[in-house]
Amino acid sequence: MLDRTIAPGFKPIKKVTIPQVHSTALSNGRKVFFLNDPAVEVFKIDLVIPCGSWFTENYNLISFALKMLNEGTTNRNAHQLAEAIDFIGSFAEFSPGFDQSTISFYGLSRFFDKNLALLSEVISNPSFDEQQFETLKKKEVQRLKLNLEKSSYLSSVALRSSLFGLDHPYGKSNSVEKIQAVQLSEVKAFFASNFSDFDIMVSGKLPDNFVDTLELNFGKSQVKKVSLPKYKIAKTVAHLNEIRKPAFVQSSIKIGKVLFNRKHPDYMEFTVTNELLGGFFGSRLMKNIREDKGFTYGIHSHLYSLNQEGYFSIGTDVNSENEQATIDEIFKEITKLQQEPVGENELETVKNYMAGSFAGSVNSPFAIMEKFKAVYFQGMDMSFYEQYLSAVYQVTSEDIIQMVNIHLQPESFYTCIAGPEKK
C-alpha cells in the first residue's frame, strides 16, 4: 500500500530533448519554418510580419491594419468571415507587437487546406470597409479610456517612457487623440507597404503536401522587403515619475532599467538572479513583501528580451500608505543580494524550479515554435535552449553577487508610481 506520509522521490531534470524546427522557402523567397507532430490532431500557422512599433512612428497604423483584417474581405463581410472560420472549428488571432506582428490561425489538421485558403484571403483581399473602420476606432478609443483609468497600465507605460524616451518605439504611449486622428487611407497605405513581407511558421500535425499548399496560397505574391529603422534611447532625466488620481484605490509601482536581451553574455546568469529575486512565487521579494510584510498579493521581477533592446522591471500593487516602505524593502533585498552569498539550498530550489518550468514550456509543438520565434528574430538559434539547463545549473552564488553588483545598482533604476493623491 502507498504510504502517503512519505514524500515522493525527487530527481533533478538534467536534459530536455527539443524536436528540431525545419525550414524551407517558397518560390517567391518567402521563408517557411515548420515542426510536424503527428501525435496531435491540430495545427497552428503564424504569418509573422516585421511590422511592430519599431517600424512606424504611429503604432495605431499597425494595430488598425491588423484588426481590420478581421473585419471582412472583398468576398465576405465580417460576419461571413467569422462564420467561415467557426464552421471548420478554427480560431484566429491578430497580434500587434513591438518588433513584429502576427496573424495566427489555429485549426483541425484535417481542414488544413481550408484554413490556409481562408488565411490567404484575409491577407490578400481585405475589404477595409469605412463603416467597420469607424466602428473599430470607437472601440479602440473606449478600450484606451478604460486602460487610462487603471493604475497598473499607467505605471507600465510610464516606466517604458522613462527608460527609452517618448519618441522611442519601446517608449511611446498612445492617446485618444492619436487614435481619432487615424484615417483609413493611412491604414490602407501602411498595409500595402508593410504586410507582404512575412515569414510563415507552422506547427502541429501537418499533411504530407503542406508545402505545396503553402506554395499555392503564399508562394505567388510579391514580397516587398521592409527595412529596419534605427533609434536612439532618450531616457527621461527624472528617476521618479508619479501619476496621481483621486479615483485610484491602490498604488501600482514599477521599478526598472534598460538592460539587455538574450544575446548578451550575462543573460543566463542574470536570469537565475532574477528568478531568485522576484521571478517565482518563492522568490526573495515575494517572501518579504507578500508573506512577511503583507503589503501585496504579489510582486514579480522580469527581464524583457526584445529584439533591439531589453529591460528589467519589478512590479507590484500596494495600498498607498505602504508605497515607500515597499520601495525600501525592494532595494533592501537587492542590497542583500549584493553583499551576502545565496545559500546552497535556496539556489538549488531556484534552479530546480527553473528546470521544471522550462521542461513544461516545451511540451507541445506550438510552444516549441514560440521558443523558436523568440530566438530566431534576435539572430539566434535553438542551441540557446539546448544549452539552457546546463547554463542554469552552472550558475554559482558568486555569479549572482557579481550580476547584482554589475547590473542592479540602486541609483540606476527608474521608479514609476500610479496611485491615489497623497494626503
Note whether 212 and 244 are same-domain residues: no
Pairing between β-strand 310-319 and β-strand 299-305 as defined by DSSP bridges? antiparallel
Q: Which helix (H) or strand (E) holds 105?
A: strand 101-108
Note whether 256 and 211 are same-domain residues: no
Residue 355 lies in a domain: yes
Last residue of a domain, one of 219, 248, 270: 219
In the 8-state DSSP scheme, what is residue 87?
H
Q: Which helix (H) or strand (E) holds 263?
A: none
Beta strands of 134-212 (E only): which ranges?
Answer: 199-204
Note whether 41 and 183 are same-domain residues: yes
pLDDT 10s per residue in the chain (423 long)?
A: 667 777 666 677 878 889 999 999 999 999 999 999 999 999 999 999 988 888 788 889 999 999 999 999 999 999 999 999 999 999 999 999 999 999 999 999 999 999 999 999 999 999 999 999 999 999 999 999 999 999 999 999 999 999 999 888 899 999 999 999 999 999 999 999 989 999 999 999 999 999 999 999 999 988 887 776 676 777 777 799 999 999 999 999 999 999 999 999 999 999 999 999 999 999 999 999 999 999 999 999 999 999 999 999 999 999 999 999 999 999 999 999 999 999 999 999 999 999 999 999 999 999 999 999 999 999 999 999 999 999 999 999 999 999 999 999 999 999 999 999 987
Residue 259 lies in a domain: yes
State the first-to-last Cα distance of the chain, in angstroms, to the nearest integer. 63
Give the pLDDT of residue 1. 62
Note whether 133 and 177 are same-domain residues: yes
Note whether 150 and 256 are same-domain residues: no
Note whether 212 and 252 are same-domain residues: no
Count up the domains in the chain and report the number: 2
Note whether 126 and 198 are same-domain residues: yes
Residue 324's CATH number = 3.30.830.10
286: amino acid identity, one letter: M
For residue 99, the enclosing domain spans 22-219
For the record, the C-alpha cell of 142 comes out as 473606449
What pTM was computed for the model? 0.92
Q: For the chain, what is the largest distance between any 2 Cα atoms, rounded to a whole number of angstroms?
A: 73
Residue 310 lies in a domain: yes
Q: How far apart are CA 355 and CA 345, in angstroms?
A: 15
Note whether 260 and 399 are same-domain residues: yes
Last residue of a domain, one of 185, 219, 253: 219
